[in-house]
């Protein structure tokens, strides 16, 4: 671990873009300890690092539970996560202790929406399969029936969770000539009109969509939402895309649906666990495109996330406004 600066102790659980580290080190109020590695902090090092800390800057791969909070002790004023998702944190335990929480909404919305479109198109138009055929000599000629997929033009797309990212995905889909844009969630969205979004029941969305995109948050209600019953209602020609969290999907049921031809294909940016073991059954399927949680992975977005996470941390340490405080 590296120690820099002094005063209030802050533990940073990973090597993060310099933007955030510079903000912390130039603040003059923090003594920064860091797990200075690209790989996740081992649990024992997390517990050692957080001990006595006033601030914790963590990642979505760190489980922040009662044990971490108890080990940190009463100094801990603020937890700032380098993510918009906060399902890795025990919010009830955190709130009970009066600890403030920062997260990184908005700055990653465009990058994640872009990646979703890339994944959807790659899956529907079978791009990874095509690349593989070029490399392995399977490309013998232009063939009328070979490697055909599904297009967005004239299609019905269903978005589960029309939040910041869901709306940004919808905006990008419309120019492809999507005919109907359905969405489901807990509440009707006033800004859905901008994308001609129709609020429908989950059942209607699942059975009527040619493409389903999952962009909701992971909560007890959404955990395992996409299961056998869900996939059985989908069209045989439909494409399923998940950029939310792996746990929204029952992966055994998804495997069966893909293998049996119940649904056409799936594109997953998120899985359970992460990383997905290389011998996982889903990776044996040609109609399943799995990428390693790349939604926000552009240089500039990760830099902005890092800076925002650092500013959130400083706000919490100093008892001032945090640019993005999680208040719900």
By a kind-dependent CB cut-off of 5 to 8 A, residue 216 interacts, out of ligand NDP, ligand DGY, none, with: ligand NDP
Residue 89 or 263: the one with the smaller Cβ distance to ligand NDP is 89
Spatial CA neighbour of 2 closest among 258, 189, 12? 12
Catalytic residue among 51, 54, 88, 293: 293
In the stretch 107-146, what mask flags binding to ligand NDP with x, by CB under 6 A?
-x---x----------------------------------
Binding-site member from 270, 289, 291, 326 for ligand NDP (CB under 6 A)? 270
Binding-site member from 12, 16, 50, 60 for ligand DGY (CB under 6 A)? 60
- What is the rounded CA–CA span in Å between residue 247 and residue 273? 9
Q: How many residues belong to the site for ligand NDP (CB under 6 A)?
A: 31
Binding-site member from 80, 81, 123, 222 for ligand NDP (CB under 6 A)? 222
Binding-site member from 18, 75, 196, 219 for ligand NDP (CB under 6 A)? 219
Q: Does 308 bind ligand NDP (CB under 6 A)?
A: no
In angstroms, how far apart are the furthest CA atoms of the chain?
69
- Is 293 one of the catalytic residues? yes
CB of 262 to ligand DGY, least distance (A): 28
Structural contact between residues 33 and 3, judged by C-beta atoms closer than 8 angstroms:
yes
CB of 83 to ligand DGY, least distance (A): 3
Residue 20 or 49: the one with the smaller Cβ distance to ligand NDP is 20
Pairing state of beta strands 30-34 and 2-5? Answer: antiparallel
By a kind-dependent CB cut-off of 5 to 8 A, residue 217 interacts, out of ligand DGY, ligand NDP, none, with: ligand NDP
Q: Does 108 bind ligand DGY (CB under 6 A)?
A: yes
In the stretch 149-188, what mask flags binding to ligand NDP with x, by CB under 6 A?
-----------xxxxxxx-----------------xxxx-
Binding-site member from 81, 155, 215, 262 for ligand NDP (CB under 6 A)? 215
Measured from the Cβ of residue 321, the count of other Cβ atoms closer than 10 Å reads 10
- Subset of 281-300 contacting ligand NDP (CB under 6 A): 293, 295-296
Instruction: Name 134's Cβ contacts closer than 8 Å, sequence gap at least 6.
Output: none
Binding site for ligand NDP (CB under 6 A): 84-85, 105, 108, 112, 160-166, 184-187, 215-219, 221-222, 243-245, 269-270, 293, 295-296
Binding site for ligand DGY (CB under 6 A): 60, 83-85, 108, 295-296
Residues annotated as catalytic (active site), given as ranges = 293
């Amino acid at each position: 671990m590296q120690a820099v600066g002094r005063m209030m102790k802050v533990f940073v659980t990973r090597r993060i873009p310099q933007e955030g580290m510079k903000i912390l080190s130039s603040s003059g109020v923090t003594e920064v300890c860091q797990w200075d590695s690209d790989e996740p902090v081992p649990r024992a090092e997390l517990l050692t690092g957080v001990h006595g800390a006033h601030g914790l800057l963590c990642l979505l791969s760190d489980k922040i539970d009662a044990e971490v909070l108890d080990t940190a002790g009463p100094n801990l004023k603020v937890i700032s996560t380098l993510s918009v998702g906060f399902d890795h944190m025990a919010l009830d335990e955190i709130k009970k202790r009066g600890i403030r929480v920062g997260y990184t909404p908005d700055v990653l919305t465009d990058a994640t929406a872009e990646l979703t479109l890339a994944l959807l198109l790659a899956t529907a138009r079978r791009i990874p399969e095509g690349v593989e055929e070029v490399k392995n000599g399977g490309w013998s000629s232009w063939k009328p029936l070979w490697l055909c997929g599904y297009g967005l033009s004239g299609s019905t797309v269903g978005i589960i969770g029309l939040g910041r990212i869901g709306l940004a995905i919808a905006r990008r889909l419309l120019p492809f000539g999507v005919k109907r844009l359905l969405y489901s969630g807990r509440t009707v969205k006033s800004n859905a009109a901008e994308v001609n979004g129709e609020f429908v029941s989950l059942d209607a969305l699942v059975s009527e969509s040619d493409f389903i995109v999952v962009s909701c948050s992971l909560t007890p209600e959404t955990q395992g939402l996409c299961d056998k019953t869900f996939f059985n209602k989908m069209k045989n020609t439909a494409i399923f895309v998940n950029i939310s969290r792996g746990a929204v999907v029952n992966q055994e049921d998804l495997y069966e649906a893909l293998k049996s031809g119940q649904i056409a294909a799936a594109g997953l940016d998120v899985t359970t666990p992460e990383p997905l073991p290389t011998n996982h059954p889903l990776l044996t399927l040609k109609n399943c495109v799995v990428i390693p949680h790349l939604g926000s992975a552009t240089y500039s977005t990760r830099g902005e996330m890092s800076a925002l996470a650092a500013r959130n941390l400083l706000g919490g340490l100093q008892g001032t406004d945090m640019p993005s405080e999680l208040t719900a």
